[in-house]
Structure 1
């Protein structure tokens, strides 16, 4: 039985994700098999997630000056990158949420470049979420680093419904990417988030020099978290960072990864995130949306330019993919 035949029974019919060895088989499929993989992944996402695409906008509350040494990130204060430290006030966050909602987005994620929040940042998050909910009909997610149990509870009480904390890469490769904290610290925060009843959002960046074996390891480690959402980023090498000279991921490898992650996590929201414009272009982005992806970030990212929001919305309309609507319980 071929790996796609196995996936048809195990994933499409039964809703069980592929294991690590099976994911690796998918990642090694010949290029001629990619269309069949994309079709299988699309069928899986339609059956287990539905046809709607979730749209999200993100904004950086605190940009730059981070004390961590994530080798892909231009926000680290340890590297000679052009990003400088900037803080936004609550009025700016509310306005950004309003603009995001106008696109039809149901999610608005507030991000801060910190290892973890201090009291000032937690208080500002509490105030910002209250202000946004008072004026904008949108869900608020957060990504402000490593948390303790008390901080998680405060964010939950404030109205944050989903928390993002990326594992970034496979456990075995993580020391090659970050040295100032551990993979286990990230996982521990995600366990706290899940225990508090918040939705777990965790993904990472592909194309940072990891092997295919480590890519398969990463997919399964994410699946073990039972995440609501997995953002899929592709490395956009940033000037001044240790990964500045790494090559862009090849488009066929990116498509294999999209299909493999969908077959590893049939019930999870897979979100197109940073780097898709460079790695896949317009045609590849359409293939991804018809190959297992069921969410995307519109507009710009934290320190890099994305696609114009209108182009993404036009693409979804052309592909006849409905945008998820907000369905809050009042």
Structure 2
């Protein structure tokens, strides 16, 4: 028996979907899997919706060669470059998001990792943010060591973000200046330091559905329950500038399959959501239940006000989920 209803009931009864089963689900009629995935989301997550915002805390000049990234020194993009933002700027933006109902604020920086001096500097900023706002703080500072993650936790960070980006098989086609294993070790170091971890990937990097499923299975094995799903924005000047954009139907199928694999996770629409004509509406009815709101790192996003209206329309409630 290979019907979607069978797999839907299996997940709701507490069983885990295997890779082979996920591949079968991925080939089923779109409307059928989206409806079933939404049932799974309702069963495990209710109407909880995890909404966060990010700030580009350090821009450009990155020595890594990630082919999708406008901030890579290997790309010929014209982006604003600057060093680590000062405390006043980081706190001001934290307050802006806090006042508009955003529950988590993530500081993201370019480069393979922040150096020790930069970590100490940003820890001072995080302490002020935590003292002056009620917003939770997430950081994405690259391939840090456990000792640095401990410093961040002591400063008030509750979550660390580190995307796997794609499957182990596909990753060397995307980046060669650091490895998949380095990413996994970084995630494990953050968890040893007592931090929650957020990790997902970018859809549209030349990966297959099998690659996408493999990525989520790795994330599931790592015990991660916050999974950002980015859509590749083919930025002029990057090696992927001419890559075909994924469709709304593609993204609905992807998030629906992911929901079968990680039924209790926050599946978060992230970068590239603005490429979708409905800004993610159908994906939020197909298993997704979280989003990054506002502008992304080097591209425009969807305003917090628009997203709050969308949540109201869908009957979602903004809460910190899987914290």
- When normalised by structure 2's length, the TM-score is 0.96
Q: Where do 5+ consecutive residues of structure 1 fail to align?
A: none
Cα deviation, 1:90-113, whole Å, max 9, x if unaligned, reads 100001001111221110000100
Runs of 4 or more above 4 Å deviation: 325-328
Distance 2:216 2:130 in 1: 34
RMSD of aligned Cα (Å)? 1.7
Offset of 1:287 from its aligned partner? 1.3
Q: Contact between 1:104 and 1:325, CA under 8 Å: does it hold in 2? A: no
Structure-2 change in CA distance of 1:70 and 1:186 (3 Å): same
| Alpha-carbon displacement from aligned partner over 1:193-240 (angstroms, at most 9, x marks no partner) | 112221011001011111122122112112111113100001011111
The answer to whether residue 21 in structure 2 is matched with residue 22 in structure 1 is yes
Aligned to 1:218: 215
Q: Which residues of 2 match residues 254-265 of structure 1 at below 5 A?
A: 254-265=251-262
Please tell me whether the aligned partners of residues 268 and 291 of structure 2 are also in contact (alpha carbons under 8 angstroms). Answer: yes
Per-residue deviation, 1:325: 6.0
SS at match of 2:160: strand
What does residue 13 of structure 1 align with?
13
Of residues 141, 145, 162, the one that matches 2:142 is 145
Task: Please name the residue that 1:277 is paired with.
Answer: 274
CA distance in structure 1 between the partners assigned to 2:157 and 2:23 by the alignment: 35
Measure how far apart 1:35 and its partner are: 2.1
Q: What SS does structure 1 have at the residue aligned with 2:7?
A: helix
Q: Counterparts of 1:185-196 in structure 2 under 5 Å?
A: 185-196=182-193
Report how far residue 155 of structure 1 moved: 1.1
Is the contact between residue 152 and residue 193 of structure 1 (CA under 8 Å) also seen in structure 2? Answer: yes
Q: Is the CA contact 2:161–2:199 (under 8 Å) kept in the aligned structure 1?
A: yes
What does the per-residue CA deviation read over 1:276-316, in whole Å, with 9 as the maximum and x for residues that have no partner? 221x321x611111221111111100000011221111111
After the TM superposition, which residues 288-327 of structure 1 pair with which residues of structure 2 at under 5 Å, given as runs?
Answer: 288-324=283-319
Structure 2 unpaired stretches of 5+ = none
Are the aligned partners of 1:269 and 1:293 in contact in 2 as well (CA < 8 Å)?
yes
Superposed displacement of residue 327, structure 1: 12
Secondary structure, counterpart of 1:166 in structure 2:
coil
Number of residue pairs matched by the alignment? 322
1:5: how far off?
A: 2.5
